Amino acid sequence: MNYYPFHIGDFRSGTVNMSRQSRWIYRDLLDVYYDTEKPLNNDFEALCDSIGVESEDERRIVERLLRFKFVKCDEGYRNEVCDRVIAEYQLKAETAKANGKRGGRPRKQSGGDEKPSGFLSGSDPQPTGDPAETGLKTNQEPITNNQITPSNEGVAPTREAVACMAMKSAGMAGVNPSNPKLTALLAAGITVPELVAAAADAVAKGKPFAYALASAEGRRRDAATAPLPNVVQRDAPVETYAQRAARQRMEEVAPMAARKQPGSAFDAAQRFMQGEVIDVAAVPKQLARVV
């Protein structure tokens, strides 16, 4: 990320009890988080080296910040606000990437003779449209959260982005469309409603995004091993009384014909046994072959 939104009021209220040195180190940790787009390193020595911390006083400050401002997990030290901002940025980046593969933002259809929106009226080929709309500059200038939209006009978001937006609507914070576990679950056939149900359960328990993914995977695995319900077989076709009588008469008069597949000669013989009037002259040879 080339930038991240910095809300002065939120930062001041969240660091009011910190010393000037603590606030400085805290900003350094946030810079590393956003620059790498992933949680802070679990290796304390490597983390201190990445922000230039050397003295014992500074190392104690880092330890205190990690304890009160971040949550330790398998991936590293996570921060809910950072995860949310990164997820929104990655969603917008994926949309802009898809836009570029399609040759840029689709032009609006116009019935008049107006010039296409975004270009000067003349021979100047330079676009004048808003970069935030065209997707040409994904991460060059600050955009507040309420200005980020799920997708640009005419471009379908990725399945990971759709899943994250749905889980976010269920109250799940810190969604990440680039999470490899999410990609693997979607590739395995898990559905968005399953992810939403897992997200709602995780929110109710106060659990993070990773817990929701693991829960969805476990539910799918349990469903796959559950016994299948009994399947009721449909009854076989029942021979009617008229069909049975016709078959018995055929077996008495022409047993060989009764065992042959239906055909012109067989049909004629069966109609004859059922009392129908047929043209005898038309099928004597056929009946002779059947009998």
- For residues 286 and 281, give the distance between their C-alpha atoms in angstroms, rounded to a whole number: 10
Beta carbons of 171 and 205 less than 8 angstroms apart: no
Beta carbons of 209 and 175 less than 8 angstroms apart: yes
pLDDT tens track for 231-255 = 444 555 666 777 777 777 777 766 6
Beta carbons of 40 and 73 less than 8 angstroms apart: no
DSSP annotation of 232: P
For tokens 């959260």, name the residue: 145
271 pLDDT band (50/70/90 cuts)?
low
Q: How far is CA 13 from CA 9, 69, 85, 95, in A?
A: 6, 13, 19, 34
**3-class state of residue 128 by DSSP:** coil
Span 134-163, average pLDDT: 56
Max alpha carbon distance in the chain (Å)? 117
152: Cβ contacts below 8 Å, ≥ 6 apart: 95, 96, 99, 105, 133, 135
For residue 145, what pLDDT is reported? 46
Q: Residue 116: exposed, middle, or buried by beta-carbon count in 10 A (0-12, 13-18, 19+)?
A: exposed
Question: With 90 as the cut, is the pLDDT of residue 59 above it?
Answer: yes
**Cα–Cα nearest to 145, from 201, 218, 81, 208:** 81
- For residues 194 and 235, give the distance between their C-alpha atoms in angstroms, rounded to a whole number: 36
**3-class state of residue 208 by DSSP:** coil
Q: Where are the beta strands (DSSP E) in 62-171?
A: 71-73, 76-78
For residue 70, what pLDDT is reported? 96
For residue 133, what pLDDT is reported? 46
Question: With 60 as the cut, is the pLDDT of residue 201 above it?
Answer: yes
Sign of the Cα torsion 211, 90, 163, 30 reads: positive
Phi-psi region of 75 (alpha: psi -120 to 50; beta: other; left: phi over 0): alpha
258 pLDDT band (50/70/90 cuts)?
low
Beta carbons of 254 and 290 less than 8 angstroms apart: yes
For residue 158, what pLDDT is reported? 85
Average pLDDT, rounded, for the chain: 75
- For residues 207 and 173, give the distance between their C-alpha atoms in angstroms, rounded to a whole number: 10
Quick one: what percent of the chain has pLDDT higher than 70?
63
**Cα–Cα nearest to 69, from 104, 29, 111:** 29
**Cα–Cα nearest to 160, from 179, 139, 138:** 179
232: Cβ contacts below 8 Å, ≥ 6 apart: none
219 pLDDT band (50/70/90 cuts)?
confident
For residue 259, what pLDDT is reported? 55
Question: With 50 as the cut, is the pLDDT of residue 72 above it?
Answer: yes
